[in-house]
């Protein structure tokens, strides 16, 4: 583990309070001191925001920004998630929206569903992609099923972690994503 990885990346979660509080991974991350839970958008301007509707994927190119500002996730229910929700929840605050590449959920609620990650899984995937696997393993360790996320997505996460930047990330993600015409 390198010196920079020991420092870790700050994790921010804007909590929309739409979930079952007993199953909420964001609340548990905050309870364990692994993330800062926000009720209002108070975070560094330009922070990378995990936004499933963004055309740009998170990649190694985002590492300097993430090291400086952290990573922000909006914790909301998938049933209520819309592109407009992300912009309205942030109330005009400047962010750098980034989507995650093709990954499968391992959480008990959305197990095996592509892209339907919990806040914990989304933050952990981002950390792995940015080369912070140890920090990702630490946050996943707060759930018994957390390690399963890394196992389920082992091959794709290794490729995403090795990818140099945005174009390579998109190519790899498209290779893993099944063709919607084949489903």
In the chain, domain spans: 3-178
Reply yes or no on whether the pLDDT at 1 is more than 70. Answer: no
Reply yes or no on whether the pLDDT at 6 is more than 60. Answer: no
Q: What is the pLDDT of residue 84?
A: 61
Q: Where are the alpha helices (DSSP H) in the chain?
A: 3-7, 25-31, 63-69, 83-89, 119-129, 133-140, 146-152, 154-162, 166-176
Average pLDDT, integer, range 111-140: 95
In this prediction, residue 81 has a pLDDT band, given cuts at 50, 70 and 90, of low
pLDDT digits (tens, 9 = 90+) for 90-108: 555 677 889 999 999 999 8
8-state DSSP, 60: G
The pTM score is 0.86
Average pLDDT, integer, range 125-144: 96
Average pLDDT, integer, range 21-27: 75
Least confident window among 11-15, 39-43, 73-77 = 39-43
Least Cα distance to 10 among 95, 127, 122, 89 occurs for 127
In this prediction, residue 88 has a pLDDT band, given cuts at 50, 70 and 90, of low
pLDDT digits (tens, 9 = 90+) for 27-57: 888 889 999 888 766 777 778 888 888 889 9
What whole-number percentage of the chain has pLDDT above 90?
51
| 15 bridge partner residues | 75
Give whole-number Cα distances, 74 to 15, 36, 90, in Å.
Answer: 6, 12, 9
Reply yes or no on whether the pLDDT at 123 is more than 90. Answer: yes
In whole angstroms, give the CA distance from residue 74 to residue 51.
Answer: 8
The better pLDDT of the pair 6, 102 is held by 102
Residues 6+ apart with CB under 8 A from 129: 58, 59, 60, 100, 101, 157, 160, 161, 163, 169
What is the Cβ-side half-sphere exposure of residue 73, based on CA atoms within 13 angstroms?
28
């Amino acid at each position: 583990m390198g010196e920079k990885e020991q420092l870790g990346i700050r994790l921010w979660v804007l909590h929309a309070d739409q979930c079952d509080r007993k199953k909420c991974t964001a609340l548990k991350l905050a309870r364990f001191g692994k993330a800062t839970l926000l009720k209002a958008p108070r975070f560094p301007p330009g922070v990378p925001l995990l936004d499933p509707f963004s055309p740009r994927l998170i990649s190694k190119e985002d590492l300097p920004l993430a090291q400086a500002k952290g990573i922000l996730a909006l914790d909301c229910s998938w049933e209520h998630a819309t592109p407009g929700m992300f912009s309205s929840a942030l109330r005009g605050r400047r962010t750098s929206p980034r989507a995650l590449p093709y990954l499968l959920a391992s959480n008990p609620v959305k197990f095996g569903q592509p892209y339907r990650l919990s806040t914990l899984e989304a933050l952990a995937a981002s950390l792995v992609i940015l080369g912070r696997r140890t920090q990702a393993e630490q946050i996943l360790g707060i759930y018994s099923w957390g390690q399963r996320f890394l196992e389920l997505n082992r091959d794709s996460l290794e490729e995403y972690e090795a990818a140099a930047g945005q174009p390579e990330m998109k190519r790899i993600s498209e290779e893993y994503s099944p063709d919607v015409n084949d489903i």
